[in-house]
């Protein structure tokens, strides 16, 4: 989730790491392929090590309560 110049990651509906400084990224609108599972903006980016069960992309930032509610629906 991006809020201003900060990025937030969630795993299983809970915050994971961060917040991440996204101030150097600027506008994220581009024609590049979407990559999932890597924080490319970090100085030493690491790939996600695990399995993805569900991936959703929204045109707006979800609140933490909304994320937890979506996770509860899956259980």
Summarised one tens digit per residue, pLDDT across range 28-63 is 777 877 777 766 666 776 777 778 777 788 888 788
Name the pLDDT band for 75 (thresholds 50, 70, 90).
low
- The answer to whether residues 71 and 13 touch, using CB atoms and an 8 Å cutoff, is yes
Q: What is the pLDDT of residue 39?
A: 63
At 41 the pLDDT is 63
pLDDT in tens, 4-25: 888 888 777 778 877 888 888 7
For the chain, the domain total comes to 1
Q: Provide the pLDDT for residue 1.
A: 77
Give residue 55's domain range.
1-75
Number of other residues whose CB lies within 10 A of the CB of residue 20:
15
Left (φ > 0), alpha (ψ -120 to 50) or beta: where does 39 sit?
beta
């Amino acid at each position: 989730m991006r809020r201003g110049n900060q990025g937030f990651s969630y795993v299983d509906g809970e915050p994971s790491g961060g917040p991440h400084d996204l101030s150097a990224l600027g506008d994220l609108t581009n024609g590049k392929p979407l990559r999932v599972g890597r924080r490319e903006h970090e100085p030493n980016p690491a790939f996600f090590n695990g399995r993805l069960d569900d991936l959703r992309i929204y045109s707006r930032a979800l609140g933490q309560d909304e994320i937890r509610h979506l996770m509860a629906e899956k259980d």
